[in-house]
C-alpha cells in the first residue's frame, strides 16, 4: 500500500515546514497499519515532490522506525541533486521517477547512485520502447524498477507487459479504485489480478482494446491532431 498523509501539511506551507503536530498526524496511518498487521503489509510513503530538502529529510527520518518500502519523490523535482542528499541523510529507501521523461533524465537520476527504486509512467517517460530502455539502464546500476498506474487502463496493461519483461521489476503499481471502478468501462480486458499477482491479458498485441461503444458515448469528447495543428 502507498499512502500520502503528509500532503495537506505541504500544501499549507508550500513544502517549507512541517511542525511536530503535523508530523505526528502524518505518521499515524503508518503506525495504525503496523499495529494491525505488523510487517505483513509493505507500506510506501508518497511525498509527491512537495517538499524542500530539509523537510524531506525530516519526514524521512521520522519514517525510519516504520521501515517503509520506499519514500517516493521526496523533494521538488527542479534540482535532482537534492534527491541524493535526502538519500544520504536517511536509512529509508528513496524512489523517484514517475513524472520524469526520457533516458537522459533517468540517467541523471541513476548517476546519483542513491535510488532504491526507479518508477516509470509510460505516458510520461516516452512510451513502451523508452521505458524498456530505461529499465535496462537501471538494471546496469542494480536498481529495480516499478511501473506507475494512474493514467488509464491502456497504460496499466502496457506497463504490466513491461513489468513481466523486465528482469529488475518486482512490482506493478495499481490503483484499486480505478481498476475496480472506471477502467473496465473503457477497455475490453484488464490485466488479471489474483492472490496479489498481476498478469497480462491473453489476446494479441497488448491483449485489450477500447470498448466498441466508447466513441459513440454522449459523455466522451474526442480530440484529434492533424498536420494543420503542427
Give the C-alpha separation, 123 to 131, whole Å. Answer: 10
Q: Which of 14, 79, 142, 148 is catalytic?
A: 148
* Rounded Cα distance, 113 and 95, in Å: 12
Contact indicator for 167, 222 with CB cutoff of 8 Å: no
Q: Rounded to an integer, what distance in angstroms lies between the CA atom of residue 42 and that of residue 33? A: 10
Tell me which DSSP letter residue 92 carries: S
Active-site hit among 48, 79, 142, 161: 48
**Lookup: cell for 174:** 495499481
Instruction: Name the nearest CA neighbour of 86 among 66, 120, 65, 116.
Output: 116
Largest CA distance in the chain: 60
- Between CA 153 and CA 145, with CA 142 as vertex, the angle to 5 degrees is 10
| Whether residue 14 lies in the annotated active site | no
Q: Is 79 a catalytic residue?
A: no
Q: Is the dihedral of CA 12, 18, 23, 29 positive or negative?
A: positive
SS3 of residue 206 by DSSP:
coil
Closest CA to 5 of 18, 77, 53, 119: 18
How many residues would you count in the chain? 230
CA dihedral 119, 151, 31, 144 (to 10 degrees): -20
Give the residue numbers annotated as catalytic, written as ranges: 48, 148
Amino acid at each position: 500500500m502507498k499512502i500520502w498523509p503528509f500532503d495537506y501539511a505541504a500544501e499549507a506551507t508550500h513544502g517549507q515546514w512541517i511542525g511536530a503536530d503535523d508530523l505526528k498526524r502524518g505518521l499515524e496511518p503508518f503506525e495504525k497499519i503496523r499495529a494491525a498487521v505488523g510487517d505483513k503489509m509493505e507500506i510506501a510513503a508518497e511525498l509527491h515532490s512537495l517538499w524542500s530538502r530539509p523537510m524531506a529529510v525530516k519526514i524521512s527520518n521520522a519514517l525510519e522506525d516504520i521501515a517503509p518500502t520506499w519514500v517516493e519523490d521526496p523533494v521538488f523535482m527542479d534540482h535532482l541533486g537534492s534527491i541524493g542528499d535526502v538519500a544520504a541523510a536517511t536509512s529509508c529507501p528513496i524512489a523517484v521517477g514517475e513524472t520524469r521523461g526520457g533516458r537522459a533524465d533517468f540517467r541523471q537520476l541513476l548517476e546519483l547512485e542513491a535510488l532504491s527504486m526507479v518508477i516509470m509512467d509510460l505516458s510520461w517517460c516516452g512510451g513502451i520502447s523508452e521505458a524498456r530502455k530505461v529499465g535496462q539502464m537501471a538494471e546496469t546500476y542494480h536498481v529495480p524498477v516499478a511501473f506507475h498506474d494512474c493514467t488509464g487502463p491502456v497504460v496499466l496493461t502496457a506497463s504490466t507487459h513491461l513489468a513481466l519483461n523486465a528482469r529488475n521489476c518486482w512490482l506493478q503499481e495499481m490503483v484499486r479504485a480505478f481498476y475496480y471502478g472506471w477502467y473496465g468501462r473503457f477497455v475490453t480486458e484488464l490485466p488479471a489480478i489474483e492472490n496479489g499477482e498481476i498478469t497480462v491479458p491473453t489476446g494479441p498485441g497488448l491483449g485489450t482494446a477500447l470498448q466498441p461503444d466508447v466513441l459513440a458515448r454522449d459523455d466522451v469528447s474526442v480530440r484529434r491532431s492533424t498536420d494543420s495543428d503542427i
